[in-house]
Amino acid sequence: MRLYKTRLGIVLEADEQYYPIEATDWDQLINQDNLHEVLQAVTTSVSPSPELHHWLHTDLLAPIGRQEVWAAGVTYLRSRDARMEESQDAGGGSFYDRVYDAERPEIFFKATPERVVDPLGTVRIRKDSHWNVPEPELTLFMTSSGKIVAYTCGNDMSSRDIEGENPLYLPQAKSYDGSAALGPCLYVPGTPIDPHTHIRLEIHRNRESVYDNKISISQMKRQHTELVSFLFRECSFAYGCFLMTGTGIVPPDDFTLQRGDEVQITIDGIGTLVNTVA
């Protein structure tokens, strides 16, 4: 089942049918450990409305309310290798190598809800950066109790020159206005997501493809529950929390995003998150 937050209301998609959700408070709705059962009950008590489908084309919002967005890093080999290369001159190489193998994962604060961009909205590259990439990441949604109840596509926009200059600049490379995007929906499968799920990143410039790659989430070094347990060790989340799980796709070093590029992140079962770069 997929739950969409739109400017006109909340829509549930189940078995290609669209149901209105009467809940007025998005945060209360999603912060339920039995979210799947709650949504299942809607499909038996409410009549589907095919016209709701149109809301999903023009009026989509990021599926976030008052939650914080956190992110895990260096969870795939490709990410470890790319970071080691970019930070070689700064002597940062061994940090990434060590965190990949360490018991404690890298987890960092990514964005407040205000910094999160809606589907079809514009993600930003920093004005003081010249080497930027999108990071396509499976993103978990956990309730206040730390239960993973939903998944979405996330874009962890990253300034590689700033992060490569010094690992201590990571917060500036990762967190700024328009540095994150989420959507197009919350995917609520009722069971953990299939480990064979693929993530695909496509980048178009002037309507031509300039980058296209994909990876299976089975390539990730860590378990989702492992990342969540570290995040929840010493942080509580009144409305639940989003956690990006790291990128397994990093474009080659001679690639940088340009303003006007279109970024598409597709994850099986969830859909495609489309954003333009500004």
CB of 265 to ligand DO4, least distance (A): 13
Q: Give the C-alpha separation, 272 to 233, whole Å.
A: 32
CB of 71 to Mg ion, least distance (A): 5
CB of 194 to ligand DO4, least distance (A): 21
74 touches, from ligand DO4, Mg ion, none (C-beta below 5 to 8 Å by class): ligand DO4
Number of residues that bind Mg ion (CB under 5 A): 3
86 touches, from Mg ion, ligand DO4, none (C-beta below 5 to 8 Å by class): none
- Is residue 79 a contact point for ligand DO4 (CB under 6 A)? yes
Tell me which residue has tokens 């209105």. 20
Site mask for ligand DO4 (CB under 6 A), range 141-180, x = bound: ---------------x------x------x----------
Locate 163 and state its tokens: 């992060």
| Residue 49 or 219 with smaller CB distance to Mg ion | 219
Q: Give the C-alpha separation, 102 to 105, whole Å.
A: 7
Residue type, 125: I
- Is residue 83 a contact point for ligand DO4 (CB under 6 A)? yes
| Residue 118 or 135 with smaller CB distance to ligand DO4 | 135
- Is residue 135 a contact point for Mg ion (CB under 5 A)? yes
Residue type, 137: E
Of the candidates 241, 243, 242, 239, the one whose C-alpha atom is nearest the C-alpha of residue 25 is 239
Locate 208 and state its tokens: 């031509």
Of the candidates 157, 108, 159, 161, the one whose C-alpha atom is nearest the C-alpha of residue 275 is 157
DSSP H helices in the chain? 26-30, 35-45, 55-58, 77-86, 93-101, 160-165, 170-174, 224-231
Q: Which residues bind Mg ion (CB under 5 A)?
A: 135, 156, 247
Q: Which residues bind ligand DO4 (CB under 6 A)?
A: 71, 73-75, 79, 83, 106, 135, 156, 163, 170, 246-247
